[in-house]
Chain A
């Protein structure tokens, strides 16, 4: 019997074998613990999913019923629905499922239905749950809270969300901007006045997407932020001016062409190219000489002059660019002049070799196979 006791086995094997055996036993125990952990977490997860599904089914029927109620619905009917919902949201989990469902429904409806959903959110004090998330340490929870308040149009949260504009976590800042734009009832964008963070392309896309759903006549005049101390805001405002075709801002965009920050000037040039009409041809022509040192801006403005310029008035502003050191600028000038009233008449003042080069460009521009 003694041959099978643990003490006998330990004594019987050498020290190395004992170490190996110990490691194997530890590894085996760890593997069992891991498998158990995976099994338990899956069980917990599926339990939560089932619970969530149960809540969803229960809430949906009530929410859909509330959403289709008329404005002059009976209070008794609403109270019954609210009491039924209230019974099931004692846990944070239940509250979260209900908030998610309300948001999902509200996204698809407007008018009375949307108002009814909002009323449920307020009457059940779910906004307090969302507001509480803004104070969470976890940035994911915080971002979730911001989004919930924005989706439910809870504009009383504007002040709390404004404080998160300078949060260290980028996602929080992005969500805050988007929320403030959604919640700003008069589309004033006032928070941008003091905004110091970056407006990333992701934010720009989302703001644009949201603004597309609004009445363009009610959008703010984005030129208000052309001279903002934050470069990112300036860039954003120029892009929005262009996308929403705020043509009245072209004179302000023309001023930006002389900007020291050439990326801003280039954005302004792009916006001008896109929006400027014939009424802006003269101020644009007059500003051309200021852009001599910036090839890309000159090219864009030449292209614009080609379509909006008057041959008799504006050609003289373009001709100096036939001697520009950059080939692309010269070519754009030739193209513009050809479109206005021809280039030949303007090249007599140039040296002989330059005349030949320009004539080759004219031939190139007029070659239908190359253009």
Chain B
């Protein structure tokens, strides 16, 4: 047995994210006690018409969200309880709406900071309707083995540790939500656990007081004793004492009250819950409450820590008198378990998951990215630069200072080549059409291919092949003519022997000046010597030079185009920003730049 919440409790949750979180916790409890999820509907106007998904066991339950309470209870007539998770400024209206629904008998408000006048009004309104209004600021209500309303009881492991999967003999009424778990735990360790534990909320005027719940517990044969966790302020504890002392009661009452420390504080200093902010001595003080409860025959330990032994004492008496029988404990293998998430299962070593993706270069799971195992900040602090990061991510190795300098020069030389080349032009046209940066830059990058900037990889491939197989220049040229066609990396649209490409000269002279072995560059230059004699513009171009140098310093052939793509991206971004800055208008090609070689206008024949 239980009070307020039981196996027949069917719930509506008024609220958004906080309400959904509560539903998830309630689903864990339902799963633990092997009953279907008891949340039937949400009411949250912003999400009306949508659904919320709540994990239950290893599956998901879909719960509809409605515009108002009436709509929810018409569609789910079994609903008899509502939980309010609506902000303090709209909580009162939400509570009234729920109370006024004929099907709803219990409304529990979790919202904190509800104005006192609203709380009082809700409480009185419920009394008039003969219903229960619990809260505001309630952590929830939990009936062991039957029903959880709200997040009371905490995480699943704690529910199990506190034996909430089966009934005990102790009722709990607490103002403090933070102590609800503690007291449930104590009841499960020093006695056989709880029947129902109710968080009434820490406000000065909770909608339902101790006495109302004490009367319900008195009528519940399973509950043999009730523990009250009180605090100073208000007169709820005094009223409970009065009720307890007024007649012979079946239930044994235990209570703790907080706030004695206020007596020894400097005058005017008060702290704790809103409800505790009144009464220092006399009515409303911790002492007056404690004295009243003791006088009425309740057991009142002097500290919270002494509550456990006091509960044990009551439990032992109940056992001795035969009113309670000891409950056999479940073995740990029989305890309820929640299906583990994949993550938890893996952590525990219970499941094996085949990875979808494998990476060998980078790991961002820590507090900063690791590039091939090296922390980005450490690289920075030890003087490494962008070329080193490129080498780590593209070729998984730490290159030397000298190699980094070569890469840096390559990038600087190929960062841009004016607005007329295919890539820049594409980006500029896109920018003028109002296209965003990533798409416009991508339009430029799409141009990189066999005829524009994309010959680096192929040039590297064939120079490497020639050097690896120790071809002569003549062998190489006849091989290329037969098998491939024009030699990638050789030839330029406008540059020639007489009009050399300064970039190539610059790079070649720098690399040659380093005194490092450059077999591929040497081979490429030898090829140029032969081809440029045949035709003036068949010179080693910037793609070919880059390719040869990069292969010389050990970069794999497949990565070579990347150097041009990366470098030129700098320029393309520049062109996009430049057009934006100028607020350039849409451009189109002029007719006079087009040779219209299409057929003249002619008659369309009838469709056959």
Say if A and B assemble together: no
